[in-house]
Structures are given as structure tokens and as C-alpha cells.
């Protein structure tokens, strides 16, 4: 699937078919996540695949009682080896830990979408409860939980306009020439011209 198509189509999915996601597919998702950039190429991400119903329920509880999560056939908990990061980047451990794992998560979700799987990124949780449920050891921190399954809903994208969020040369400086918006359409045109060449 074309990258832009996957980026545009991906939505957070919280309702799933009662259908297993094969382990081979789950590992494909992790492989995509593992291709993400990371600070110093330290690859601090660690992945816990959870299919066990009881553990999924414990995770859903740790995620502030988001019960829908236990209905997902698979949960992948993305953890960070913060100790490993700390050895190299003491001052930036927290920042890099979150950033590296978030980039991995997005890769994973886009690959999942390209395989017709729905995902939802969750990071509203009690770290302590999650660590307890998953026997996560010292120095390792959960960064996010990705719920995965075949979607039974098709939510629409809710986004503000590019005009609202884009500035030129300095913060707050908007273009008065509105004809350049939406940039997305202009880029699409540009890409199609490049393709034709």
C-alpha cells in the first residue's frame, strides 16, 4: 500500500471482529516497528505480545478501565529499555525513550493498516499496574499499548485545517494568500507530476 494512502486512511479502531491475528502477522508488525529511527540507533523498544484473555483484562484495567481493550484479539505493549538509553543519553533518557517508541508505534500502526488491521494507540495507564500485570523488570518502562484486530467500525478523520497549524518562517506567521491551501491537494498534484516524469 502506498504510504500516503495508509497515513490518510489509518484511524483509531476500538471495535474488532472476533477473529485471531496470526502470530506471523503480529511479528510482521513488530518488524515494521523495528525499522523506525531511534536516537543513536539504540533501538530501545521492546515488545510484549499479549493474546491471553486474563492478561488482556488486566491491561485494560491498568489502562484506566478501558474495557474495550480486552476485546482486541492482540495487544502489543511497547516498552522502553530506559537503562540502555541512559548509558548514552543521561539528560535525554525520558525524551528519547518516548520519542523512539512513538515512532516505532506509528510504523506498526501503518503496517497494520496496510494489512487491513485496525489499531489504537493507548498511553493512558497506570505504569505501576501495567508493570505488575506484565512482570516488567526494573529499568524497563511501558510507553504505549497498541490494541490490534480486524476492524468492525470505520471512523472518519477529524482534523483541523492545515491553515490553522502551519506557520511560515516564524511562529504565528500565517500566509494571507489562501490559494495555497490545502497544501495536501497541492502536494498531490506535485506528486502526480513527478510520477509522470
Ligand X SMILES: Cc1cc2nc3c(=O)[nH]c(=O)nc-3n(C[C@H](O)[C@H](O)[C@H](O)COP(=O)(O)O)c2cc1C
Q: How far is CA 120 from CA 19, 84, 188, in A?
A: 17, 27, 27
- Site string (148-167) toward ligand X, x via CB under 6 A: -------x-x----------
Among all residues, whose Cβ is closest to ligand X?
124
CB 44 within 8 Å of CB 81: yes
| Sheet containing strand 118-122, strands side by side | 45-50, 74-81, 140-149, 118-122
Choose between 157 and 170: whose C-beta lies nearer to ligand X: 157
Query: Site for ligand X (CB under 6 A): how many residues?
Result: 11
* Cell numbers describing residue 85: 538509553
Neighbours of 73 (CB within 10 A): 19
Where is 93: in which H helix or E strand? helix 93-114
Choose between 99 and 123: whose C-beta lies nearer to ligand X: 123
**Which 52-71 positions form the footprint of ligand X (CB under 6 A)?**
66
Choose between 15 and 86: whose C-beta lies nearer to ligand X: 15
Our finding on whether 108 is near ligand X (CB under 6 A) is no
DSSP annotation of 137? P
- Cβ-proximal residues to 68 (8 Å cutoff; 6+ apart), any chain: 14, 15, 60, 147
Choose between 39 and 66: whose C-beta lies nearer to ligand X: 66
**Which 112-151 positions form the footprint of ligand X (CB under 6 A)?**
120-124
Choose between 1 and 27: whose C-beta lies nearer to ligand X: 1
**Which 7-36 positions form the footprint of ligand X (CB under 6 A)?**
11-12, 14
* Residues lying near ligand X in the complex (CB under 6 A): 11-12, 14, 66, 120-124, 155, 157
Amino acid at each position: 500500500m502506498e504510504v500516503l494512502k495508509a497515513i490518510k486512511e489509518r484511524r483509531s479502531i476500538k471495535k474488532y471482529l472476533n477473529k485471531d491475528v496470526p502470530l506471523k502477522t503480529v511479528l510482521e508488525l513488530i518488524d515494521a516497528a523495528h525499522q523506525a529511527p531511534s536516537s543513536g540507533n539504540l533501538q530501545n523498544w521492546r515488545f510484549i505480545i499479549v493474546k491471553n484473555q486474563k492478561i488482556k483484562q488486566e491491561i485494560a484495567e491498568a489502562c484506566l478501565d478501558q474495557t474495550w481493550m480486552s476485546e482486541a484479539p492482540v495487544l502489543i505493549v511497547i516498552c522502553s529499555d530506559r537503562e540502555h538509553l541512559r548509558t548514552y543519553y543521561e539528560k535525554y533518557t525520558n525524551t528519547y525513550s518516548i520519542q523512539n517508541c512513538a515512532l516505532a508505534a506509528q510504523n506498526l500502526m501503518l503496517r497494520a493498516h496496510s494489512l487491513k488491521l485496525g489499531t489504537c494507540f493507548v498511553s493512558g495507564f497506570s505504569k505501576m499496574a501495567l508493570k505488575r500485570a506484565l512482570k516488567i523488570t526494573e529499568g524497563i518502562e511501558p510507553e504505549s499499548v497498541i490494541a490490534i484486530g480486524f476492524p468492525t467500525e470505520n471512523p472518519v478523520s477529524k482534523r483541523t485545517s492545515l491553515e490553522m497549524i502551519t506557520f511560515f518562517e516564524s511562529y504565528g506567521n500565517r500566509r494571507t494568500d489562501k490559494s495555497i491551501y490545502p497544501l495536501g491537494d497541492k502536494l498531490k498534484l506535485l506528486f502526480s507530476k513527478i510520477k509522470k516524469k
